[in-house]
Every structure is written in C-alpha cells, then in structure tokens.
Amino acid sequence: MKKTALVTGGAGFIGSHICDYLLEKQYRVICMDNLITGSLENIEHIRTGDFIYLNHDITEYIDLKDDICSIFHFASPASPIDYLQLPIQTLKVGSLGTHNILGLAKVKRAKMVLASTSEVYGDPKIHPQAEEYWGNVNCVGPRGVYDEAKRFAEALTMAYHRQQGLDTYIVRIFNTYGPRMRKDDGRAVPTFISQCLENRDITVFGKGSQTRSFCYISDMVEGIYSLINSNYHLPLNIGNPEEMTILQLAQNIKDISKSKSNIVFQELPADDPLVRKPDIKRARKLLGWEPNISFKDGVEKTISYFRGKITS
Ligand code: UDP
C-alpha cells in the first residue's frame, strides 16, 4: 500500500512541483486547490493513477475519507499583486484554512508542513534574516494581509504542536522561481523573463537597489521534503543566500536571455522590503541541505519554460 500525501495549493507553482516530487517518491497524492491562483495546466501531466485532484476551498470544512500520512499546506495567494487583489481570501486561507488543515492533520494523525514565508520578517532591520528575528511588519499595509496571515498560521501551527502534540513543521520560504510561475503573477523573475522574451521594457521598481535572493524550485522542494522528514518543529528558513539588487536581476536576465529590452524605472510599491537574504545556517546544520542550482542554470531552465509559453 502506498502512503498518501495531501498537497493544498497543489495546482500552484510550488505545490505542483511538490506533487511531482511525491509521485516520484512513490506516494499517492491528493491535490486540493480551488484554482483562484493555481491552474490545472500545472498538473495536467500527472492526472492519472496515483494522483487525485479535488477542487475545494480549504477555508470550508474538509471531508476526506482517505488515510493520509503527510500534509503539505501550500494553499495561498503568494505574489504581491495576487494578495493585493485577494486580501480577504489571503487572510482566510492563512487563518481558517490553516485551522481546518490542522484539524484534519489531527484526526488523520498526519504530519503537516506549513508553507510560511520570508514576509514574516517584513521590511527587515536585521540582515541577513535568521529564524530568531521577529520581523518588522506593517500589519495594516498592503502586504499585511499576507504577512499577518502567515504569522497567524505559524502561531496556530505551534499551538497545535505544543498543546495537542501534532507533528508539525514550518518552512519560511524565501523568493523562489522556476517553471510554472504565472507570466502575469507580477513577481520580478517571471515579469522580467517575459519582458525580455517579448522585447518589452523591463520594469524595475524604485531605483532597483532593493535586494532579493532567489532559490530555484528543485532546491526548494528538496529542502521542504527534508524538513518534514526531520524532527525540527520550529520555523526554518529555506532559500538561496545569493543576494542581488533588483537592477542586477534585471541586467542578469537580460544578459542570459540575450534580450534587446531596455530597463525602465517605475514607482516602488508601498512597504517593498529594502533587503532580503536568508540565513540558512540552521537548515545546513539540521538537514544537511543547501541549494545547488546556480542562478544562471535556474534562469536558463525558467527561460526555456517561458519560451514555450510565449510562442505557443
Ligand atoms: N519588482 C520590480 N519590477 C517588477 C516586479 C517586481 O522591480 O516588475 C521588484 C519588487 O519591487 C521587489 C522585487 O522586485 O523589490 C521582488 O518582487 P517580487 O514581487 O518578485 O517578490 P517580493 O520579494 O517583493 O515578494
């Protein structure tokens, strides 16, 4: 008998890669998604055999007959323009949705990993960000709906772990990129790649001096799988510490894609963090994990995915 895993948000970017990974590891996979930001296209290649797709909004009661051994809780709008357009759904999925998932984990005696985020650090005053840092979040700013939903989800997960003895894990995901990001999700990597491939202007916000550190999707998925198989229950950063400014990101993507696009500067969105880089000492020590896909290799793979999308 194969073990069954549930992936919420399984038709999204990271969720669908987790589904692929679990199928390769011989799990039976139940993917739950209401498709408000996910897409069936991300899972059409696996819709057979040991893969089950259920269209469900996890903020509503979840009725599952199957035995489940692990839950990967990845459902949430996750790009700034998505959570700006879906503020209430974002708050509800992080709070009510996480509550339902923890209740499900309890009755199924399943372990559960919560997809948290570097956004819990807000616009950080400590650099790089280690797990001990409590963050600098504007709870009523435009990003507050996502940041506070994830902070609440972390608190709720720890409460179920401490009070009810649930086997829970919390991954703080830093900027991640790769195939299956939506071209229109507004995030820097897919936006710059599609602008480069279509020879449109590359839109850098502000002066482009803000920094981010980009992790390729396969490194991220391996880190998450390794965490849920560890015995570490406090939040853990997973990300790539190779930091660059957004202007460097734009220039790098332009160079790698050999694009003729011009870089143009637009207004910086409110509360856009000035710097972001994960301190991954703990993940290295506890999991023996570290990213191994270089930025150039990762961007090349992502460009070839977007080339397919843009010409088709
Ligand atoms: N950004 C940009 N141009 C774009 C999209 C994003 O300059 O067309 C910047 C954005 O202001 C932020 C950084 O790129 O400073 C990363 O943005 P993203 O939305 O990818 O993720 P975030 O880390 O802000 O959640």
**Domains along the sequence of the chain with CATH:** 4-177+216-241+281-287 (3.40.50.720), 188-211+243-276+293-311 (3.90.25.10)
Comparing CA positions, the residue from 113, 239, 263 lying closest to residue 176 is 239
For atom 18 of ligand 1, the residue with the nearest CA is: 187
Please state the atom number of ligand 1 nearest to the C-alpha of residue 276.
Answer: 23
> For 25, what's the count of Cα atoms within 13 Å in the CB-facing half-sphere?
16
Task: Evaluate: CB of 265 within 6 angstroms of ligand 1.
Answer: no
Q: Which residues pair with 212 in a beta bridge?
A: 244
Q: Cα-atom radius of gyration of the chain, to the nearest Å?
A: 19
What pLDDT score does 263 carry? 98
Known catalytic membership, residue 146: yes
Give, for 257, the enclosing helix (H) or strand (E). Answer: none
Contact 226, 289 (CB under 8 A): yes
Task: Evaluate: CB of 277 within 6 angstroms of ligand 1.
Answer: no
For residue 2, CA distances in Å to 5, 22, 168, 204 come to 10, 11, 22, 47
User: Per the residue annotation, which of 27, 83, 121, 146 is the catalytic one?
Assistant: 146
For atom 19 of ligand 1, the residue with the nearest CA is: 187
| Bridge-based pairing state of the strands 235-238 and 4-8 | unpaired
pTM of the model: 0.98
What pLDDT score does 48 carry? 83
pLDDT in tens, the chain (312 residues): 899 999 999 999 999 999 999 999 999 999 999 999 999 999 999 988 899 999 999 999 999 999 999 999 999 999 999 999 999 999 999 999 999 999 999 999 999 999 999 999 999 999 999 999 999 999 999 999 999 999 999 999 999 999 999 999 999 999 999 999 999 999 999 999 999 999 999 999 999 999 999 999 999 999 999 999 999 999 999 999 999 999 999 999 999 999 999 999 999 999 999 999 999 999 999 999 999 999 999 999 999 999 998 765
How far, in Å, is the centroid of ligand 1 from the Cα of 205? 7
What pLDDT score does 216 carry? 99
Please state the atom number of ligand 1 nearest to the C-alpha of residue 191.
Answer: 8
Kindly report each contact of residues 283-289 with a partner whose C-beta sits within 8 Å and lies 24 or more positions away, as own/partner: 283/223, 283/227, 283/236, 283/237, 283/238, 286/230, 286/232, 286/236, 287/223, 287/226, 287/227, 287/230, 287/232, 287/236, 288/226, 289/222, 289/223, 289/226, 289/238
For atom 1 of ligand 1, the residue with the nearest CA is: 188
Residue with tokens 């919560």, as numbered in its chain: 114
**Is residue 99 packed enough to be buried (19+ CB in 10 Å), middle (13-18) or exposed (0-12)?**
middle
How far, in Å, is the centroid of ligand 1 from the Cα of 138? 18
Contact 168, 111 (CB under 8 A): yes
What pLDDT score does 312 carry? 52
Give, for 260, the enclosing helix (H) or strand (E). Answer: none
